[in-house]
Amino acid sequence: MNYSALLKLCGWEEEQIRRERPRLDQAFGILGLGPDDMQRAEARVIEGYDVDLMGVRKALGVWIGGMVDVVLSKREGKRLVYYSFPPLGGLSGVISVIGKGEILCVCPEFILDIALGAIFDRIDPILEAGEAKALPPGRALCGLNKIRIGAVTEGIIPVPDLLLASSFYCDQGGQTDEWLREVYGIPWVVMDNVMDSPWGEFPNLNPERVSYLAAEMESGWLEAAEILGYQPNKEHWSAYYDLYSKFNQGIAKSNRSMKADPPPVSQANLQVVRFLRNGISYDRFPEALKAIETLVPELEARVNNGIGPLPKGSPRVCSFLIPQRDQSIAHLFEKAGIAIPVTFLSYDAYTASLDSSYASLAERNAQVELKRGLYHGTSAVLHWTKKAVEDFNLDGILWTQPIHCRPMSGTGYFFKKAIEEELKIPVLSLEVDWYDNRVFSAESMRTKIETFGHLLAARKAKRATKRKEN
Amino acid sequence: MLVCGLDIGAATTKAVILNDGRMVSYSVLPTGQSVNLATDKVLENATRKLELGIADFSRVVTTGYGRHAVPFAHRAVSEIICHAKGANFLLPSARTVIDIGGQDSKVIALDGDGNVTNFVMNDKCAAGTGRFIEVMASVLEVPLEDMGALSLRSGKPCMISSTCTVFAESEVVSLRATGESRENLIAGIHKGIASRTITMGRSVGFHKDVAFTGGVAKNLGVKRYLETAIGSQLLVPEEPQIIGALGAALLAREDKAQGSI
């Protein structure tokens, strides 16, 4: 089967393709991907992504490589650990570090969603299998969890040796792991917590919450270490921090570039690079780092030359997350003249607000999780969104309301009201599913998106006229 | 200067022709299976009396769900913008437009110049739209145009609790089997639509004056329940179905005046 053209398009070198060919043949066979799929994927990549940017192409290649790794892991004698999205506390990262070459620690549904979904458009049968086995359709159940169950039960990915479970952010993730544990007898480590922070507390944190979360994470580490037979030491942690902080520096630099007018790249492309830290194993991580290190100067060059997918002066919005399986939503926004320079999940302002007085490693990690905002609660999401409006000179907010995400689905109306009242900027709330595009149609959103673009442009023009008059 | 606005909706296609800012003709026809066919027919209908052809229009702007499918259009604009523009032209005091069409419903806030300042539109569900009323009219074997008048005769509207067209259909069938009158059932259906529209539009608000446009604005029952919920009279244009097409035509005229090509 000829997949060289696709892989080269996705940043693979000839030598890498030659070296990995037996693995690729085997993995694509297990995944049921044939010549037609390769051709379709090639067309989808060209249509959906900014292939002038090698950093974006390389990132797509890392996702494909990551998918091959997880599909073949057990056949290659590796031990396999799955963690959920959003990941908690760096444990998955440090397990990747200590088990280098022997343990593969990944978020498989995230890898499959991008590689098999966004690139190959072959995720629907996996979603359907997940629905048939455990999580029925029409009941507001998360697509990511359906992918996890569907892929395991269909034999697309192996049954893991350990599950790192948490119901802290979403009860469904924990319940999905519980299902897998019951059916396959997989050991698990559970790290729990609740989002019961008082409104108005953020950006301060209650130290007791930090200590409690740290204790949960610490006991999780100990339990995982016992099951895997590895005890993470200081060197492991510093190797983890070193690698991930380099990646995060890349994210910070790309965020700086996205503050330019026009932003140099579509957010749909950036997201696929940034999310590499949320799913890929340590073994592939040097390639992920290479992708972002390639992308950063490419973006800077575009900024210096005033190049971007939209004209200078286009309205700018922040989105929480753009559906990654379906690039057409992000492109609909661009066609309506709206730039998305930042998403909540990529915004890194929290790093400047960290308190250095926390002594233990677990407390420091717990603090990071809570300061990011997602694990703190809706008031924290609002806090960072408002900060992003200032930082990125935004004209509006796009709230991609995930109808099947239990922690997020209830907040749309409330979020819109709070932002519109406090910041006096428009909010467009769109009902989507970030991981399953069977339940919405990008086309059906065209009217709302076009109107929103028109509204933002009119407001921006009015403000510019007023400024001139003054 | 002759300009044309076309609104290709889910249920009907509408054309409005303006000559120097004055409406000289309009037409409304079912969209049917083919957008192109419907567009040709509605234009033929609207231009027949005027003895005009497409080439005579200095600009054509389209709106509605089929707006991007008309090859000779100069520009496609969302129906939310067009409804605000059209309503502002006919009812300048309107600051809110409730538009309920065949497939969707919207609440639009607008300024004195007809610019949209906020809006909300239903998501993928057909409940609360013209399609919902069509389904119920068919279930109850009542001509669509009689639904409004019949509901005004109701003494005690039924409670239709389902928010889904399919579930509501079953609910209506069950209630009919218990002997509920058609009038009460239809009034319950209309009350339900009004209630869903009010809930949806709460984030935008219903600032006076409130205009009611779209095909469902012809339904006196829905209008009455909306008025009761909002607490004020709704302004309904003489032909509420053509407001989107009128707005498109007005934008065509503006484009031409601003020198757009």
pLDDT in tens, A251-303: 999 999 999 999 999 998 999 999 898 788 888 989 999 999 999 999 999 99
Are B77 and A454 a contacting pair at CB < 8 A? Answer: yes
More reliable by pLDDT, B170 or A436? A436
CB count within 10 Å of CB B75 equals 15
pLDDT at B177 over 80: no
pLDDT at A117 over 70: yes
Q: Decide if A291 contacts A254 (C-beta within 8 A).
A: no
Instruction: Work out the mean pLDDT of chain B and round it to a whole number.
Output: 89
Question: Of the candidates B81, B116, B203, which has its C-beta nearest A416's C-beta?
Answer: B203
pLDDT at A236 over 50: yes
A458 CB within 8 Å of a chain B CB: yes
Question: How high is the pLDDT of residue B25?
Answer: 93
More reliable by pLDDT, A408 or B82? B82
Average pLDDT value for residue range B56-62? 93
Cβ neighbours of residue B125 closer than 8 Å, sequence gap 6 or more: B163, B164, B165
Mutation choice for A interface testing from B61, B78, B110 by most A CBs within 10 A: B78
Catalogue the E-assigned strands of B105-218.
105-110, 116-121, 210-213
Residue owning tokens 């408002």: A386
pLDDT at A185 over 50: yes
Question: How would you classify the pairing of strands B96-100 and B105-110?
Answer: antiparallel
Nearest to A408 by CA among A432, A384, A440, A427: A432
Q: What is the token pair recorded at A309?
A: 């997918």
Question: How high is the pLDDT of residue B178?
Answer: 81
Q: Residues of B with CB below 8 A from A338's CB?
A: none
Residue ranges of alpha helices (H) inside A81-142 are 91-98, 108-112, 124-133
Average pLDDT value for residue range B141-148? 85
More reliable by pLDDT, B196 or A85? B196
Q: What is the token pair recorded at B121?
A: 């539109």
Report the range of poorest mean pLDDT among A56-65, A143-152, A425-434: A425-434
**Model-level pTM?**
0.89
CA separation for the pair A455, B119 (Å, rounded): 10
Question: How high is the pLDDT of residue B149?
Answer: 87
Alpha carbons within 13 angstroms on the beta-carbon side of residue B248 total 31
Question: How high is the pLDDT of residue B125?
Answer: 67
Q: Which helix (H) or strand (E) segment is B29 a member of?
A: strand B22-30
A463 CB within 8 Å of a chain B CB: no
Residues forming a β-bridge with B14: B7, B28
3-state secondary structure of A249: helix
pLDDT at B261 over 70: no
Q: Decide if A170 contacts A142 (C-beta within 8 A).
A: yes
Q: Percent of chain A, pLDDT > 90?
A: 56
Distances (CA, A) of A405 to A342, B123, B220: 21, 17, 39
A416 CB within 8 Å of a chain B CB: yes
| pLDDT band of B138, cuts 50, 70, 90 | confident
Q: Which amino acid is residue B259, in one-letter code? A: G
Cis peptide before A262 (omega within 30 of 0): yes
Sheet order of strands, B75-76 included:
B22-30, B12-19, B2-8, B59-63, B75-76
CA separation for the pair A214, A211 (Å, rounded): 5
Q: Decide if B166 contacts B132 (C-beta within 8 A).
A: no
Instruction: Work out the mean pLDDT of chain A and round it to a whole number.
Output: 90
The C-alpha R_g of chain A, in whole angstroms, comes to: 22
3-state secondary structure of A137: coil
3-state secondary structure of B49: coil
Helix A91-98 to helix A207-228 angle, to the nearest 10 degrees? 30
Q: Residues of B with CB below 8 A from A444's CB?
A: 124
Question: How high is the pLDDT of residue A162?
Answer: 95
Q: Decide if A374 contacts A381 (C-beta within 8 A).
A: yes
Nearest CA in chain B to A412: B203
Interface list for chain B against chain A, based on CB atoms closer than 8 Å: 65, 68, 77-81, 104, 115-119, 121, 123-124, 203
3-state secondary structure of A170: coil
3-state secondary structure of B19: strand
Report the range of poorest mean pLDDT among A113-122, A279-288, B3-12: A279-288
Average pLDDT value for residue range A85-95? 76
pLDDT at A144 over 70: yes
More reliable by pLDDT, B140 or B167? B140
Most confident of A111-120, A461-470, B118-127: A111-120
Alpha carbons within 13 angstroms on the beta-carbon side of residue A338 total 32
pLDDT at A442 over 80: no
pLDDT at A314 over 70: yes
Report the range of poorest mean pLDDT among A397-401, A441-445, B218-222: A441-445
Question: Of the candidates B68, B116, B203, which has its C-beta nearest A451's C-beta?
Answer: B116
Residue ranges of alpha helices (H) inside A305-353 are 328-335
A412 CB within 8 Å of a chain B CB: no
Question: How high is the pLDDT of residue B107?
Answer: 95
